[in-house]
Chain A
Amino acid sequence: MSDLTRQIVAIARPGLTWAVHFVAIYALISASCAARAMIGHPTLVIAGGAVTVVAVAACLWSVFAPPAGGSTDLRRAAVWGGLVFALACVANASALFLFQGCGG
């Protein structure tokens, strides 16, 4: 893989991670709070917490280990993109920890 390709991957990875994380949190909330109520609140919080830790780590990978070489502009894009997405993952999950149940 060329330096440039690695940088493109480093830009795309946090975005894809955020997308997967968002879908996971949405699915967990739906599993817990819709009529079927498949999982309880503790499971929701634990599973949500776990995917968030993994997702934030994957996003920060681009921040702390951006691919060397290639273009400085794309490195900057990877670092800043990673940072914003890491923050966004935390924001996605924040309500799980602030609220005690589906109703707030």
Chain B
Amino acid sequence: MSVTETPTAYSGARKGEDKSFEGVWDTPTGLRKLSSVSHRVVGRRFIYTGFVFFLIAGVLALMVRTQLIVPGNTFLDLETYNQVFTMHGTLMMFLFAIPILEGFAVYLIPLMLGARDLIFPRLGQFGYYCYLFGGIIVLSSFLFDAAPDGGWFMYVPLSTKAHTPGLSADFWLIGITFAEIASVTAAVELITAILCARAPGMSLTKMPVFAWYILITAFMIAIGFPPLIIGSILLEAERLLALPFFDPMLGGDPLLWQHLFWLFGHPEVYIIFLPAAGMVATMLPTFVGKPLFGYGFAVAAVVTMGFISFGLWAHHMFATGLPILSLSLFSAASSMVAVPTAIQIFCFIATLASGRPRLTVPMLFILGFLSIFVIGGLTGVMLASVPFNWQAHDSYFVVAHLHYVLIGGMVFPLIGAFYYWAPHFTGRMMSERLGRWVFGLMFVGFNATFLLMHLTGLRGMPRRVATYAEGLGWDRLNMLSSIGSYILAAGIALFVFDFFRSRRHGPKAPRNPWGAGTLEWLYPPVAPGFNFHAIPPVESREPLWDQPELLEREAHEVDGVMHGIRDGRRETLGCDPVSGAPLYVLRLPHPTWIPMLAAAGLAILFGATLASAYWVCAVGGVIALAAFTLWAWEPSDSGVTRDAGMGHELPVNVVDKRAHMHVALVGTMLVLMALFASLIFGLLYLWNIRPDAAETVTRPGLVAAAVAVVAGIAVAVFGQFTRRTAVSDRNLGAMALSLLTAAAAVASAGALGLSLMPVDPWASALGATLWATGGFTGIVLFVLLYWALFNAARRLTRRTGPGQSMPDFNLATFAKGSGLMVVVAGAFFIAGAMGGVG
């Protein structure tokens, strides 16, 4: 099905015209491998790095357990103990659980959906380096004897400058915020990949269920992470610049931090659980030999969990004195989330019952997951009840519950997933015999450690204590828990051994070794640099079961669209987000260092903030900006059509609302809106709970705020006109309108700034939050300004040919979002100016 017509010339970047298909997709070797953008390479990096963090955090957990093995122990002093449990929680939650699961998604999603790569490979590389550098910043705190010690949720006032004067909290805030950029970029990347690059015929209903789980998780990350990013920036600003966001003396509130933290923190638990459950939903049918029972139920469960998990955040704050009515609202939502969770578990149990499961190692881990997670869920329902929660608050009962959910719900499926997908990483099978030992040790060790902790907690032992007195009834239980943790650790050590052993000595994995139904097993598992020579049309959710022709031939002979390559470029198929119908040929970037450079620039910026070397920060910022500019400056590929085979004549990189660039932009706007909404929440919260302090804030300027609103509307209108003019290929008009959009952005930012002039951000928390809202909107406007000027410059230098209006098309959407933010911020300022802030 290769293409024979002579293609029209195009202005896109020349990359590898003289190369074969394999040559174009080849992974660079040696040091240049670091410039690889392939999802296989980046996904594996996320997975391996995440696992290293898991091992480090695991060693820290063992130190905790060793300290607690006997009463009055002096293995760790009090300060070190605080650092150790804080870093354990922090590494596990931020640097292990989410990144490793995202790594699996980055690796598996294109393979399962019939794509040759993720849609934004450079973003993947950029995200990975942000994660790596962020993780290094957090870990390096040990070197400076400044490891964070305020607990993984860094509550204020403990984490403010007054109570934590050193750099430890800064390491946490800066490193974690940086690493979170990685999670957010991966989320946008995954949303776009799932919606825009699937095999022909793979409608949303024919999508493997794993993709549903990841899609919902990615949306949750896009909305759930911003509150913590904003919270961390506000706290860092309080520590660095003495802005009083959380200072009760100046109208701030420590509980605002708790709200922002848990607005992220609770959904995070589901963000960790859902991809792991998606792995279970993928592996289980393979071993039962039947499709997942109740695909529709599972989709309903994932969607409901995704939403409801955002309504639970304050159940972590039951003991803070919130009004009973609020507690009841959160208690109700917390209980309700058990319903979709149970629906999902029933889907798994019904699938199990529908066939005769093969008891392989991954299957054992699935059974382990089911039993442990259900117990964690049940203790969760207990904790959702306010009176019980008050009793068990901050006790070892909570530690037991959270580990049942996290280890049962995530670590067990993860280890099962390693055994299942190991052939993809090593080309070999891991040992079934050793695997059973791994499972046995982990299952026994886990329950010995944590089942008993429920009792320890009910007997009154608080969490986060470095030692305890003899004779309180906790001695034996702690001793057994610690022994259990060593058994658990032995299981994990054996797993690591088995993984490395299998790389050399494991039996070679055949094609589709488990007899699975999903597309990632189409090729023999030893990874080539590419995914599909031709992308086969898909007729069912388990194509390898229902389309026998796929496995009858050698993988590279399978029929499909886009056989071969065109123009020497990496390409995959772009599809309609709902129906999966082929829509366009999607050009992908080749290996490059630029994303790494951008991440390094940001790392310098963040790292130098820690050292208060602000001119170095500026250098880092400039490096990052230059790298982003180079990244975006590349010639556009759209404007030509190509024969994709099987009767599909498709445009390249279509300019349309359904195009991947536009879908990604909508995802990005979602993130920006969530960041903005977090600030608005802060404003309303402080205004509502501290009317006395709000009275004291000077009013913002009315006229300037009104001008900002008008300018904000102009931003949106000019942006939209730019799109229209550009789409009809009127070069000069588009350039002029881009410049007008830029001018409106400058006017909006100027007017917002002027309106805020009378407000002293150091005098009150509300004033500081008003400034933060204005500042955030200003940054968004700066991006808009830069983008509009950038588009105009490209037009001026004739880098934009006919039909290449995607950057202007997207600018319009961004301008509308930015305009909306300006209007909302302006409206708040007007309200403050007219009614008085108080």
* Chain A residues packing against B (C-beta within 8 Å): 2, 4-5, 8, 11-12, 15-16, 18-19, 22, 25-26, 29-36, 70-81, 84-85, 87-88, 91-92, 94-96, 98-99, 101-104
B469 in the interface, Cβ–Cβ < 8 Å? no
User: Which residues of B sit under 8 angstroms from A15, Cβ to Cβ?
Assistant: 303-304, 306-307
When the two chains form their complex, are residues B691 and A85 in contact, meaning their CB atoms are under 8 A apart? no
What's the minimum C-beta distance from A97 to chain B, rounded to whole angstroms?
11
User: Which residues of B sit under 8 angstroms from A102, Cβ to Cβ?
Assistant: 323-325
Check A85/B329 contact, CB under 8 A, given A11-B300, A34-B688, A35-B691: no
Q: Which of B294, B304, B328 is close to A84, meaning CB atoms less than 8 Å apart?
A: B304
Name the prevailing secondary structure of the A interface residues.
Answer: helix
13 A-B pairs with CB atoms under 8 Å apart are A4-B578, A18-B307, A22-B333, A33-B325, A34-B689, A35-B689, A35-B691, A36-B687, A76-B294, A77-B296, A77-B300, A87-B339, A92-B332
- Give Cα A70–Cα B299 distance, bound, in whole angstroms: 15
B555 in the interface, Cβ–Cβ < 8 Å? no
- Give Cα A72–Cα B343 distance, bound, in whole angstroms: 18
Closest chain A residue, CB of each to CB of B838: A36
When the two chains form their complex, are residues B296 and A18 in contact, meaning their CB atoms are under 8 A apart? no
Check A26/B578 contact, CB under 8 A, given A36-B688, A88-B333: no
What's the minimum C-beta distance from A73 to chain B, rounded to whole angstroms?
4
* Chain B residues packing against A (C-beta within 8 Å): 203-205, 294-297, 299-301, 303-304, 306-308, 310-311, 323-326, 328-329, 332-333, 335-336, 339-340, 343, 578-579, 687-692
Closest chain A residue, CB of each to CB of B294: A76
Q: Which residue among B294, B304, B332, B692 has the maximum number of chain A CB atoms within 10 Å of its CB?
A: B304
When the two chains form their complex, are residues A99 and B299 in contact, meaning their CB atoms are under 8 A apart? no
- Give Cα A2–Cα B658 distance, bound, in whole angstroms: 15
What's the minimum C-beta distance from A70 to chain B, rounded to whole angstroms?
8
Q: Which residue among B299, B306, B340 has the maximum number of chain A CB atoms within 10 Å of its CB?
A: B299
When the two chains form their complex, are residues B205 and A4 in contact, meaning their CB atoms are under 8 A apart? yes
When the two chains form their complex, are residues B303 and A81 in contact, meaning their CB atoms are under 8 A apart? yes
When the two chains form their complex, are residues B296 and A87 in contact, meaning their CB atoms are under 8 A apart? no
User: Which residues of A sit under 8 angstroms from B304, Cβ to Cβ?
Assistant: 15, 81, 84-85, 88
What's the minimum C-beta distance from A28 to chain B, rounded to whole angstroms?
9
- Give Cα A4–Cα B580 distance, bound, in whole angstroms: 11
Check A96/B325 contact, CB under 8 A, given A4-B204, A22-B333, A85-B304: yes
Closest chain A residue, CB of each to CB of B694: A36
- Give Cα A19–Cα B303 distance, bound, in whole angstroms: 12
What's the minimum C-beta distance from B26 to chain A, rounded to whole angstroms?
38
Q: Which of B299, B303, B343, B688 is close to A30, meaning CB atoms less than 8 Å apart?
A: B688
What's the minimum C-beta distance from B826 to chain A, rounded to whole angstroms?
21
What's the minimum C-beta distance from A77 to chain B, rounded to whole angstroms?
4
When the two chains form their complex, are residues B204 and A74 in contact, meaning their CB atoms are under 8 A apart? yes
When the two chains form their complex, are residues A29 and B326 in contact, meaning their CB atoms are under 8 A apart? yes
Q: A95-B325, A104-B324 are in contact. List 20 more A-B contacts (CB 8 A).
A: A2-B578, A4-B579, A15-B304, A15-B306, A29-B326, A30-B326, A32-B325, A33-B326, A34-B688, A77-B296, A80-B343, A81-B304, A84-B300, A84-B339, A87-B339, A88-B304, A88-B339, A91-B335, A95-B329, A102-B323
When the two chains form their complex, are residues A99 and B324 in contact, meaning their CB atoms are under 8 A apart? yes
Closest chain B residue, CB of each to CB of A19: B307
User: Which residues of B sit under 8 angstroms from A74, Cβ to Cβ?
Assistant: 204-205, 296, 299
- Give Cα A34–Cα B579 distance, bound, in whole angstroms: 48
User: Which residues of B sit under 8 angstroms from A84, Cβ to Cβ?
Assistant: 300, 304, 336, 339-340, 343
- Give Cα A77–Cα B689 distance, bound, in whole angstroms: 40
Q: Which residue among B339, B687, B692 has the maximum number of chain A CB atoms within 10 Å of its CB?
A: B339
When the two chains form their complex, are residues A76 and B297 in contact, meaning their CB atoms are under 8 A apart? yes
When the two chains form their complex, are residues A99 and B306 in contact, meaning their CB atoms are under 8 A apart? no
Q: Which residue among A5, A31, A74, A77 has the maximum number of chain B CB atoms within 10 Å of its CB?
A: A77
- Give Cα A1–Cα B820 distance, bound, in whole angstroms: 27
When the two chains form their complex, are residues A22 and B340 in contact, meaning their CB atoms are under 8 A apart? no
- Give Cα A26–Cα B301 distance, bound, in whole angstroms: 24
When the two chains form their complex, are residues A25 and B297 in contact, meaning their CB atoms are under 8 A apart? no
User: Which residues of A sit under 8 angstroms from B308, Cβ to Cβ?
Assistant: 18, 88
Closest chain A residue, CB of each to CB of B302: A77
When the two chains form their complex, are residues B336 and A4 in contact, meaning their CB atoms are under 8 A apart? no
Q: Which residue among A31, A33, A84, A94 has the maximum number of chain B CB atoms within 10 Å of its CB?
A: A84
What's the minimum C-beta distance from A65 to chain B, rounded to whole angstroms?
16
Q: Which of B299, B329, B689 is close to A11, meaning CB atoms less than 8 Å apart?
A: B299
Closest chain A residue, CB of each to CB of B310: A19
What's the minimum C-beta distance from A12 to chain B, rounded to whole angstroms?
8
User: Which residues of B sit under 8 angstroms from A36, Cβ to Cβ?
Assistant: 687-689, 691
- Give Cα A86–Cα B310 distance, bound, in whole angstroms: 16
Q: Which of B328, B335, B578, B689 is close to A8, meaning CB atoms less than 8 Å apart?
A: B578
Closest chain B residue, CB of each to CB of A94: B332
When the two chains form their complex, are residues A22 and B311 in contact, meaning their CB atoms are under 8 A apart? yes
Minimum-distance CB pairs A-B, first 4: A76-B296, A95-B328, A104-B324, A73-B296
- Give Cα A26–Cα B307 distance, bound, in whole angstroms: 15
User: Which residues of B sit under 8 angstroms from A80, Cβ to Cβ?
Assistant: 296-297, 300-301, 343
